[in-house]
Homo-oligomer: A and B are copies of this chain.
Amino acid sequence: MLVSNHARPTLEDVAARAGVSRATASRVLNASPRVSPEALEAVNAAVLALGYQPNRAARALVTRRTGAVAVLFSEPEPKIFDDPHFARLIRAGARALADVDVQMVLMLVHSPDDQARAHRFLAGGHVDGALMFAPHRNDELVSIVKKLPLPVVYAGKPWGSLRGMHLVDNDNEGGAVVATKHLKALGRKKIVHVSGPLDEMSAIDRLNGFKSALSLDDKGAAKLTEDGGFTREGGRKAMSVLLAKHPNLDAVFVASDLMAAGALETLHEAGKRVPQDVAVVGFDDHVAIAEHTTPPLTSVRQDSDEQVKHMVEHLMKLLRDETVKKKQQMLPTVLVRRESA
């Protein structure tokens, strides 16, 4: 028996060494029950001795499974990726997918070109499923992907009909209600809101929470709300607009920590003390921000790590053809009190 000693061992080699057939060796590797204890042990020993690693391509060829999933970030404004939130999501995805031993193929989709490429790639069967981060309204990529026979789990609610879609969302509305009520409970009388861009569902949900906590109608809410675009700069500007409109405001619920950081700057410049004159609550509880503002920011925590972990678990179930009890999961949010409110 001559074995080329430099090439990687194949299943054949393992089988030979264990004194069984390829088929049996394969069964051992795939944890099939129909295999005797002796065979199992022999094969395992051979695998170890040879340092055998299954050939992914060969396996993929026959199983029609790639062992890879795509992670898609659809975002027309590439600069948004300077947002630390993005890094956190990627990190969580990498970890969660590595834990279940599937390859993560990352795709950043900005332009129509990128969309076409993603389309080709996903349709080409190069991955078994996808995790989709596509927060914006009327995202072409969502429509494209919907038509594909590919299991997809969304982060948060994409725009449009949610029928049959699998997603894991944070309780944005609930968190916003808690945040707003907290301000009310503090005895604040004039509470305003810096919202995110209203082409994102999460921003809308947070706005809705604000409205419902204060029992406002659309018109009433519109007066008290200003769009800060989920950027720090936007938060600054929105805050000054609100200050101009409502000089007597004494509390503000800001729909993201990044914007809240901007809003705090504006408030300081306007000579308002936080929290004495104006109480501030953010959203995200992004530690790198919330703990380092002055004063430290009270914020609604949404656990992105947890969200991504759930997304991966959900997708894995879909890939195993298990029935999922709930297609759409909602993760709780909780208010973290610091000093700003």
Interface residues of A (CB under 8 A from B): 8, 51, 53, 55-58, 60-61, 66, 68, 78-79, 81-84, 86-88, 90-91, 94-95, 98, 103-108, 114, 117, 120, 123-126, 232-233, 287-288, 292
Contact = CB atoms under 8 A, between A and B. Distances in A.
A55 B87 contact: no
A106 B87 contact: no
What's the number of copies of this chain in the assembled complex?
A: 2
A125 B55 CA distance: 8
Contacts of A82: 84, 87-88, 287-288
B56 A58 contact: no
Contact of A103 (B83, B126, B288): B126
20 contacts: A56-B124, A57-B57, A57-B60, A58-B61, A61-B61, A68-B103, A68-B105, A79-B288, A81-B87, A81-B88, A91-B108, A94-B106, A94-B108, A98-B108, A103-B103, A103-B105, A104-B106, A106-B106, A232-B292, A233-B292
Contacts of A114: 98
A51 B126 CA distance: 15
A288 B288 CA distance: 15
Given A94-B106, A104-B105, A105-B104, A53 B84 contact: no
Q: Which of A66, A87, A125 has the most CB of B within 10 A?
A: A87
Contacts of A117: 98
B53 A125 contact: yes
A91 B81 contact: yes
A287 B81 CA distance: 12
